[in-house]
Structure 1
Amino acid sequence: TAGPTFTMLKLKGWPNAVRPLSLHRDSGSRDPLYTRSHFLLVCTSEALLFARLSLSLSLSLSLSLCTSEALFVCASLSLSLSGHQRLFCLRLSLSLSLSLSHTHTHTHTHTHTHSKNPNFLCKKGNAVSDDPGITVFRVSSPKEMACSPVEESKRYIARTQKTNQLKTFLALAIWLCVIHLVIFLLILMVFVLPFRWSLTLGAVLVTLMVIPLFEKSALAEFVSRFVCKHGPGHFPVTVVIDDKDALDPNQAYVFAVEPHAVIPLGVVGLCENTGLLPLKKLKGFASSAVFYTPILRHVWTWLGLAPAKRKLVVDSLKQGYSCVLIPGGVSEMLYMEPDREVVYLKKRFGFIRIAIEMGAPLVPTFIFGHTHIYKWWKPKGMLYNEMSRVLKFAPLLFWGMYGTPIPFPRPLYVAIGKPIELKKNPQPTQEEILEVQALFLSALQDLYDRHKADAGYKDTPLYVY
């Protein structure tokens, strides 16, 4: 019978990656692209293609890291290319990744001077990471910190260094540009593309929302290490620990990080693969909306993030993981202003309750610079506030360098205070929770006041809602 014929492509080493690459009309047949049955067949084949590609990539343990990088780029492009273009893309990506693998990074091991304070002298100290993109320092009695209540010998600083610029750009693109990519694809699907292509794109996005995350795959490990190694150097990120000896590597902590800002990128300084903290088991938590977003759910899961749900946090603490939480959340974004620091904590009790129930020390953490890595515009009014709470994120317009999703290279200063020791109580009373909240707010304010001058925010006030 008359009908479409298929040109098949079988990639070497990928026996299951077979798909129809083109449809040809036989003489005398109707145009199959405009018939419902053939159109649904095309949609199904596109969805199966991406699922097979994802499975093949995640299971390709025998490939080198540079090849995994090339395959990641190739897979992201392959949906819109023809057969010969796919082969060309694969070869080009392999060549590019092999050439990048020979580019070496350099690290500075000499004495540094703080960019905001010329008297802030640091000496190289004991490293907590073997990563060449990270330099670790110990403060050598600066006069500016004479009022600090902790001993200077216990203060600890770790700072990321810039690496290869191309790799930094690729890391930021993988880490952050996915958000704008998904928005762009949704706009195309709704307003631009013909119905048949909109349905195809929709099928692909839905597939990306449900396929497994492959957290333990070689690709996941590579993406995590690549982003954590090259991304933070863009700012750079400086982590300052008031008392390093107070952090026990065998203890699980609850890091309460403020502020949230547009995207809390400074949390990368607390990621396990960044290596800036003397703790090996760390897990970050983000809004549940992130894990319903195609592509983004994979990338951020590979970076060590999980949905901010009570059960997941409790289970992680039981397994010995220190949990990185941002209690201000979406509501904090509704209050943020460019000329002041804002935290929304007076009505936040969940993170305190979990810390008391598990007996996990509560660590106040403040990230200076969060509110300046992006510019933004957000609507005002009760309707917008209620919609943000329902959606679990605040819809706003934000942009970075040259109007792109790449953030401005503003230094991020992560100040980590002394842990607040808590007595374990499986059923804490409201009075106990309020008492711990008062201790935490006082410790956070003290942490902010002691570090704001060194971070370059001496005249910026902190507002607590």
Structure 2
Amino acid sequence: MWKYMKDYFPISLVKTAELDPSRNYIAGFHPHGVLAAGAFANLCTESTGFSSIFPGIHPHLMMLTLWFRVPFFRDYIMSGGLVTSEKESAAHILSRKGGGNLLGIIVGGAQEALDARPGSFKLLLWNRKGFIRLALTHGAPLVPIFSFGENDLFDQVPNSSGSWLRCIQNRLQKIMGISLPLFHGRGVFQYSFGLIPYRRPITTVVGKPIEVQKTLHPSEEEVNELHQRYIKELCNLFEAHKLKFNIPADQHLEFC
């Protein structure tokens, strides 16, 4: 089934550097998109051949805890490598002896989905530093991942910052823990409206690992320094590949 999903868009995975199977990694995934299709297909299924591209590495993807409270669905998503977004889950994976684990975190989270639309490169990252602190605590290298085309799968009702719709969406997101983007794609027999995602390619590019010195009690200065290094490497990854996907040379990542 997941192969059909991969072929529909299609979705592909690109490696730019080797990952040492004797180590554990934290991978920051960007952007969230509406459905995080690239993150799921690449890290939770073998449809794009993750294990052959990164031999010896077992991927995991963090997901909102509320989904793990649904009977049977919880067991199904756990079988695909999904784990709760709690610190204890992350610590369990990153502390495994022998290495070979990659913990994927969609850093922008549900709130970033509200900015997911074709041509948008806005990432919710400036104040997202929990994954940085986690990397320092465990000495886990950080791997930036950018999924080109992730935001092109759906159109979204205009909801600019400060608009009444955005205010309602932000309020609901704080209450419910999930965002509610008003999106639409194509239908089964027509292409103008529906809830099926557009058939547009997604190319997920995995960057080179950023070495992290293990620091059990990192200071704010150490967290901020690594955070800036991560942003720089993520920007470098985007700039190095954007022209291949017809992104204008003067288009850069936007952070909020």
Q: What range describes the TM-score normalised by the shorter chain of this pair?
A: 0.7 to 0.9
> Judging changes above 3 Å, is the alpha-carbon distance between structure 1 residues 264 and 280 closer, same or farther for their aligned structure 2 residues?
same
Equivalent-residue separation in structure 2 for 1:428 and 1:255 (angstroms): 19
Partner of 1:257: 29
Q: Which protein has the bigger helix share?
A: 1
Structure 2: distance between partners of 1:316 and 1:362: 14
SS of the equivalent of 2:57 reads: coil
Inter-CA distance 298–322: structure 2 relative to 1 (3 Å threshold) = same
Question: In 2, Cα distance between the equivalents of 1:400 and 1:445?
Answer: 29
Could you tell me which residue of structure 1 aligns to residue 162 of structure 2?
none
Local SS of the residue matching 1:231? helix
In structure 1, the partner of 2:153 is 373
Q: Deviations over 1:330-356 (max 9, x none)?
A: 222234443321111110111001111
Paired amino acid for 1:251: R
CA distance in 2, matches of 1:231, 1:270: 14
When residues 336 and 233 of structure 1 are mapped into structure 2, their CA distance, relative to the original with a 3 A threshold, is closer
Contact 1:361 1:422 survives alignment (8 Å)? yes
> 1:358 matched to which residue of 2?
138
TM-score (norm 2): 0.84
> What is the CA deviation profile of residues 224-262 of structure 1, one whole-angstrom value per residue up to 9, with x for unaligned ones?
xxx3x3321211122222223xx1122111010100111
Query: How far apart are 1:405 and its partner, in Å?
Result: 4.1
Q: Which residue of 2 aligns with 1:238?
A: 12
Structure 2 match to 1:439 = 229
Compared with structure 1, are the counterparts of its residues 280 and 405 closer, same or farther at alpha carbon in structure 2 (3 Å cutoff)?
farther
In structure 2, the partner of 1:413 is: 203
C-alpha distance in structure 2 between counterparts of 1:438 and 1:254, whole Å: 16
Cα 1:399–1:381 change in 2 (3 A) is closer
For the pair 1:341 / 2:121, whether they are aligned, the reply is yes
Match of 1:318 among 85, 95, 119: 95
What is the rounded CA distance, in whole Å, between the counterparts of 2:158 and 2:89 in structure 1?
31
Q: Deviations over 1:110-155 (max 9, x none)?
A: xxxxxxxxxxxxxxxxxxxxxxxxxxxxxxxxxxxxxxxxxxxxxx
Separation in structure 1 between the aligned mates of residue 42 and residue 69 of structure 2, nearest angstrom: 25
1:136-175 equivalence runs, <5 A: 171=1
Unaligned runs of 5+ in 2: 160-164, 188-192
User: Residue 378 of structure 1 contacts residue 396 of structure 1 at CA under 8 Å; is this kept in 2?
Assistant: no
Could you tell me which residue of structure 1 aligns to residue 43 of structure 2?
270
- 1:389 paired residue number: 174
Question: How many Å separate the matches in 2 of 1:418 and 1:344?
Answer: 21
Contact 1:362 1:422 (C-alpha < 8 Å) held by counterparts: yes
Percentage identity across paired residues of the two chains: 28
Residue number among 236, 241, 245 corresponding to 1:455 in the alignment? 245
Mark the CA change 1:302 to 1:405 in structure 2 (over 3 Å): closer, same or farther. Answer: farther
Q: Give the paired residue count.
A: 237
State TM-score, norm by structure 1. Answer: 0.48
Please tell me whether the aligned partners of residues 147 and 204 of structure 2 are also in contact (alpha carbons under 8 angstroms).
yes
Mapped partners of 1:231, 1:273: distance in 2: 11
Secondary structure, counterpart of 1:401 in structure 2: coil
- Large movers: runs of 4+ above 6 Å: none
Residue 272 of structure 1 and its aligned partner are, at CA, apart by 5.8
Question: Matched residues in 1 for 2:23 and 2:65: separation?
Answer: 27
Larger radius of gyration: 1
8 Å CA contact 1:257–1:324 kept in 2: the answer is yes
Distance 2:31 2:222 in 1: 24
| Mapping for residues 102-181 of structure 1, pairs under 5 Å | 171=1
CA–CA distance in structure 1, aligned partners of residues 217 and 113 of structure 2: 31
Letter in 2 for 1:391: M
Task: Give SS of 1:253's match.
Answer: strand
Counterparts of 1:408 and 1:259 in 2: how far apart (Å)?
A: 17
Structure 2 distance, partners of 1:304, 1:404, is 30
Per-residue CA deviation, residues 369-407 of structure 1 (Å, 9 max, x unaligned), is: 111112233752434212212312111333333155432
The whole-number CA distance in structure 1 between the counterparts of 2:181 and 2:45 is 30
Does the 8 Å CA contact 1:272/1:282 hold for their aligned counterparts?
no
Output the CA distance in 1 between the equivalents of 2:185 and 2:70: 21
CA distance in 1, matches of 2:104, 2:182: 26
Amino acid of the structure 2 residue aligned with 1:313: A
Match of 1:129 in 2: none
Higher relative contact order (CA 8 A, sep 6+): 2
Q: For the Cα contact (< 8 Å) 1:258–1:326, is it kept in 2? A: yes
Q: Deviations over 1:298-329 (max 9, x none)?
A: 54333221221111011011123210111111
Q: What do you get for the CA RMSD once the two structures are aligned?
A: 2.1
Aligned equivalent of 1:464: 255
Determine the structure 2 residue equivalent to 1:307: 84
